[in-house]
């Protein structure tokens, strides 16, 4: 239900504002003689101040670039990014002076967070740093301006932007039309390929300068454990959920085969990627009408009701805000309503990809989103507001602590609360007329949820699995596309609908690749949200099956959540997790508990089928 999403992590670059306002200068210079703990504390305090100044400029500039896409704003964003990255790189090098000291926990943690603070490590050489940021701005701009120009005669050469494509994939059941649109969109990513290759080289160069083997090691090191241990942990979590995913895949493939025919959907192989209701086959909720377990049950889609009741963008956001305030959390500041972008402007290009911001690191909360009156967008709003509320409760901390305990936490907050948007809640809003009351209704609800949350899991793992291998050199540029589809077949059990080759750059058709946004956070978030939900339900005193719980209106659950949000990144994430859940490792058992009724049903329904691919 919520396709492509990310929050704006604030320890990253900017645009024109930096050129107008000037820079924060160089990091503190080392004192004479051997380093001391007192010098380290002074260094960290200065870096926190500098990073906040630079990040405010960065956020301002990025906001301008995202809401006014032009060659000028892209160029200015590149220059601004170069300044921020240049400061970060110099500060990380300077911080190495203190690496062997016995420091107090706060100073030691902030120095560690500084080292992994940016998803992009820049070379020390200014010219190469500017080249890197210029390529980065260009890649993101290419994605934002991309169109899919259809080739079928019936389309009359029509070109669709990403918003129009999302509508087409949600609604069309025409095999050839979907294949044409899928191919046209992926065609638009081809020019990114040589740029991305150079981008990887320059980013790896920057990572090596700060003592990481490559960019993938830098990303994985942000999780308070060695990179190799973190990768193994994601494998552990995938193995926990893989059997449920394979049961879901088996059932959905059989239903799609009955819709499109045996010649279009194989009985035992991967599913064609364009048939799953989503441009990237990452979430499958849009094919729910084709795979609904029990026909004739009350409709669970509230999109028609939203449109019929004339919900506009502001009213939809107000529904999301009420969910958070019902838990005893604060209302959004008035500036949120004045400064956010809710509707796609008619007079300019913008990045419609939903994102959440605190532009000035001072409770300047915003979302940027081209909202439509759909259930998908209503859910996405809750997700983005989860980021905003995290920002709100930690914005008074030092800059290096103003981030989630890990980035998966940031993604999971809003999603955890969407699990409380039960059919009964939607009925209370007047968006559902009737709600399911028997086992058939329950299986329908769980199927609809699983098509979003369970179907996403292997995709959430593949994006960075591919990039980690690219950054490390295990996947060479000559095999970018081949390796991409090998991984998607292995984990997701899907295939490209048309032949692909190394002229293509299909990873670039997914926003997070050209925008350099790490993606494992989404995989973790799909698991953490259930872990959070179970803990909040326990705090609320819920008795009964987990899937029946809603914490809407419960102040005890809100107090537990607020305490964790306020920690930011001040403690390692296992401590933040324990504060909310009592557990110190990510655990998929809550997701399996939530979907236990569906899994039992799927096993019975798939009896006699040959599952797997």
Q: Which residues are catalytic?
A: 353-354, 383-384, 387, 411, 512, 522
Q: In this structure, are residues 357 and 587 in contact, taking their beta carbons and an 8 Å threshold?
A: no
Neighbouring-strand partners of residue 159: 149
H or E stretch including 133?
helix 126-145
- Which residue's structure tokens are 């990114």? 192
Per DSSP, the chain holds a count of helices (H) and strands (E) of 25, 6
Per the structure block, which two tokens stand in for 103?
């420091």
To the nearest 10 degrees (0 to 180), the angle between helices 456-472 and 439-453 is 10
- Which residue's structure tokens are 């969109």? 185
Residue of 613, 564, 594, 269 whose CA lies nearest to 413: 564
Tell me the Ramachandran region of residue 366: left when phi exceeds 0, alpha when psi lies from -120 to 50, beta otherwise.
beta
The CA distance from 423 to 434, in Å, is 8
Per the structure block, which two tokens stand in for 8?
């704006």
Q: What is the DSSP string of 506-529?
A: GGGGSTTTTTT---HHHHHHHHHH
- Which residue's structure tokens are 């029509």? 158
- Which residue's structure tokens are 């906001």? 63
- Which residue's structure tokens are 């709003």? 381
How many C-beta atoms surround the C-beta of residue 477 within 10 A?
A: 15
CA distances from 332 to 389, 390, 414, 415, 577 (A): 8, 12, 15, 18, 25
The CA distance from 407 to 524, in Å, is 9
The CA distance from 272 to 493, in Å, is 9
Burial 524-554 (b: 16+ CB within 10 A, else e): bbbbbbbbbbbbbbbbbebeeebbebbbbbb
Q: In this structure, are residues 325 and 553 in contact, taking their beta carbons and an 8 Å threshold?
A: no
Q: What is the DSSP string of 141-193?
A: HHHHH--EE--SGGGTT-EE-HHHHHHHHHH---HHHHHHHHHHHHHTTTTHH
């Amino acid at each position: 239900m919520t396709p492509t999403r990310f929050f704006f992590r604030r320890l990253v670059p900017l645009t024109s504002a930096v050129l107008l306002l000037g820079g924060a200068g160089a990091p503190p210079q080392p004192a004479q003689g051997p380093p001391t703990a007192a010098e380290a504390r002074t260094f960290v305090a200065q870096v926190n101040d500098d990073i906040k100044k630079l990040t405010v400029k960065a956020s301002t500039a990025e906001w301008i670039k995202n809401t006014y896409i032009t060659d000028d704003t892209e160029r200015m964003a590149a220059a601004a990014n170069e300044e921020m990255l240049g400061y970060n790189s110099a500060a990380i090098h300077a911080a190495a002076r203190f690496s062997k000291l016995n420091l107090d926990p706060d100073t030691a943690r902030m120095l560690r967070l500084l080292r992994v603070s940016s998803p992009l490590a820049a070379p020390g050489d200014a010219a190469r740093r500017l080249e890197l940021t210029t390529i980065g701005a260009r890649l993101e701009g290419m994605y934002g301006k991309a169109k899919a120009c259809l080739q079928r005669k019936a389309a009359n050469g029509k070109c669709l932007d990403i918003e129009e494509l999302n509508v087409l994939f949600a609604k069309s059941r025409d095999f050839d039309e979907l294949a044409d649109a899928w191919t046209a969109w992926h065609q638009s990513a081809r020019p990114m390929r040589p740029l991305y290759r150079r981008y990887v080289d320059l980013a790896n160069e920057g990572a090596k300068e700060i003592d990481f083997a490559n960019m993938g090691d830098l990303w994985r090191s942000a999780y308070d454990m060695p990179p190799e241990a973190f990768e193994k942990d994601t494998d552990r979590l995938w193995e926990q959920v893989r059997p449920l995913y394979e049961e879901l895949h088996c059932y959905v493939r059989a239903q799609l085969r009955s819709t499109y025919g045996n010649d279009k959907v194989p009985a035992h192989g991967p599913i064609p990627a364009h048939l799953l209701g989503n441009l990237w086959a990452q979430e499958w909720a849009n094919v729910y009408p084709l795979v609904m377990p029990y026909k004739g049950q009350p409709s669970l889609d509230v999109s028609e009701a939203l449109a019929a009741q004339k919900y506009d963008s502001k009213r939809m956001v107000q529904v999301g805000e009420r969910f958070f305030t019902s838990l005893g959390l604060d209302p959004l500041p008035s500036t949120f309503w004045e400064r956010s972008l809710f509707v796609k402007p008619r007079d300019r290009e913008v990045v419609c990809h939903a994102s959440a911001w605190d532009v000035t690191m001072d409770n300047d909360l915003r979302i940027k989103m081209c909202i439509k009156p759909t259930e998908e967008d209503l859910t996405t709003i809750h997700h983005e507001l989860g980021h905003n509320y995290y920002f709100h409760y930690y914005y008074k901390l030092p800059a290096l602590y103003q981030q989630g305990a890990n980035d998966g936490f940031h993604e999971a907050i809003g999603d955890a609360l969407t699990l409380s948007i039960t059919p009964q809640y939607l009925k209370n809003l007047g968006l559902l007329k009737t709600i399911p009351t028997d086992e058939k209704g329950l299986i329908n609800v769980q199927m609809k949820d699983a098509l979003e949350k369970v179907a996403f899991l292997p995709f959430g793992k593949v994006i960075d699995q591919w990039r980690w291998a690219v950054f490390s050199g295990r996947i060479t540029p000559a095999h970018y596309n081949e390796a991409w589809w090998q991984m998607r077949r292995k984990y997701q059990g899907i295939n490209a609908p048309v032949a692909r080759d190394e002229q293509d750059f299909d990873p670039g058709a997914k926003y997070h690749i050209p925008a350099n946004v790490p993606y494992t956070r989404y995989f973790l978030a799909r698991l953490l949200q259930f872990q959070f939900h179970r803990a909040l339900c326990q705090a609320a005193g819920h008795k009964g099956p987990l899937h029946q719980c809603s914490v809407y209106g419960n102040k005890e659950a809100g107090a537990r959540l607020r305490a964790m949000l306020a920690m930011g990144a001040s403690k390692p994430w296992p401590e933040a997790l324990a504060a909310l859940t009592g557990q110190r490792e990510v655990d998929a058992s809550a997701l399996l508990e939530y979907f236990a009724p569906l899994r039992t049903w799927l096993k019975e329904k798939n009896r006699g089928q040959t599952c797997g691919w």
